[in-house]
Amino acid sequence: MSIEQWWPALQPSTREWLIANNGDVVPPHVVEEIARAGGDVTSDAWWVGQKGPSGFSLSDAAIDWVEAVANGETPEAPGPDHR
């Protein structure tokens, strides 16, 4: 599932956190909410960034997507071949 599909299912406070902390490591409780909303953080989806000892982060393309949302724009997801 792509970010534009699970984003609306997040709590407003979670979306606000992701906007305010765009580019930061995503805390476990936010990762869990993304997963409950349908975002598979173990997938190779374009919005999945690094997963490692420091935690989970969104991809650069997803960071750009969140920034566009924060600016009141309606961003489009990159094509299926984007990674």
* 46-68 per-position pLDDT tens digit: 999 988 888 999 999 999 999 99
Please say if the pLDDT value at position 82 is more than 60.
Answer: no
Query: What value does the mean pLDDT take over residues 25-49?
Result: 94
- At residue 75 the predicted structure's pLDDT band, cuts being 50, 70 and 90, is confident
Max CA separation in the chain (angstroms) = 33
CA 37 to chain centre: 11
Rounded CA-CA distance 28/73 in Å is: 28
Q: What is the pTM of this model?
A: 0.87
The pLDDT of residue 51 is 86
Mean per-residue pLDDT over the chain, rounded: 91
What does the domain layout of the chain look like in residue ranges? 3-70
Rounded CA-CA distance 77/65 in Å is: 7
